[in-house]
């Protein structure tokens, strides 16, 4: 099983990045391969000028195509997900998320915009033909503390519990998708015989 983890924070030191890192460790401990990508890894010009032919963007599109699911992490910016993340999602072909399971994770300064994933990110994922967007996990900044290294940090107990619960659902969704793919392949094989 392959998951693309996408960090939509433009910040070097990122709270949503800390949550994504915890999620990555959990998934890897459950035998899921995770390809971790950050919006910061992309050339700003490719994103701003929509360079569909950039090798990095082509690689990203291919990684999404191969993935069974996506973890998308974003800070809340002005009551929505980050604009930087939108510039990247805009480069994906229209049916890119068809058949994938997506778990959104968002962090914000307060609970005021805890529904940002629902009213802002979910419509974009649905425009990319995702049929299985799981309940997003929202955390406020005070639930995440940084450690001394660049991306490390700790989550409080409540957030850890909610994250693990969300990841369990995500994992089940991934397993269902892989089983469906295998039974489809089995069906094709029977038809060929």
Ligand X SMILES: Cc1cc2nc3c(=O)[nH]c(=O)nc-3n(C[C@H](O)[C@H](O)[C@H](O)COP(=O)(O)O)c2cc1C
Residues that bind ligand X (CB under 6 A): 9, 11, 14-17, 75-79, 107-110, 112-113, 141
- The minimum distance between CB 132 and ligand X, in angstroms, equals 24
Judge whether 96 and 61 are in contact, CB under 8 Å: yes
Looking at the Cβ atoms of 70 and 174, the one nearer to ligand X is: 70
Judge whether 92 and 59 are in contact, CB under 8 Å: no
- The minimum distance between CB 6 and ligand X, in angstroms, equals 12
Looking at the Cβ atoms of 110 and 126, the one nearer to ligand X is: 110
Looking at the Cβ atoms of 44 and 184, the one nearer to ligand X is: 44
DSSP code string of 140-180? EGGGEEE-SSSS-EEE-HHHHHHHHHHHHHHHHHHHHHHHH
Looking at the Cβ atoms of 75 and 136, the one nearer to ligand X is: 75
Which whole-number Å values give the CA distances from 3 to 18, 51, 120, 171, in the listed order?
17, 24, 22, 10
- The minimum distance between CB 74 and ligand X, in angstroms, equals 7
- The minimum distance between CB 73 and ligand X, in angstroms, equals 7
Judge whether 41 and 5 are in contact, CB under 8 Å: no
């Amino acid at each position: 099983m392959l998951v693309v983890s996408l960090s939509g924070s433009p910040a070097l030191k990122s709270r949503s990045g800390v949550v994504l890192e915890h999620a990555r460790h959990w998934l890897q401990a459950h035998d899921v391969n995770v390809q971790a990508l950050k919006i910061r890894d992309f050339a700003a010009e490719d994103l701003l000028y929509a360079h569909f032919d950039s090798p990095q963007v082509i690689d990203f599109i291919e990684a999404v195509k191969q993935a069974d699911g996506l973890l998308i992490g974003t800070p809340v910016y002005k009551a929505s997900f980050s604009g930087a993340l939108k510039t990247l999602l805009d480069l994906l072909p229209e049916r890119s998320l068809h058949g994938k399971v997506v778990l959104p994770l968002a962090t914000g300064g307060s609970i005021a915009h805890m529904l940002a994933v629902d009213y802002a990110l979910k419509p974009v994922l649905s425009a990319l033909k995702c049929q299985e967007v799981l309940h997003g996990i929202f955390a406020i900044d005070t639930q995440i503390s940084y450690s001394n290294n660049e991306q490390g940090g700790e989550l409080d107990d409540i957030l850890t519990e909610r994250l693990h619960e969300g990841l369990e659902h995500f994992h089940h969704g991934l397993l269902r998708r892989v089983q469906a793919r295998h039974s489809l392949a089995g069906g094709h094989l029977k038809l060929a015989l």
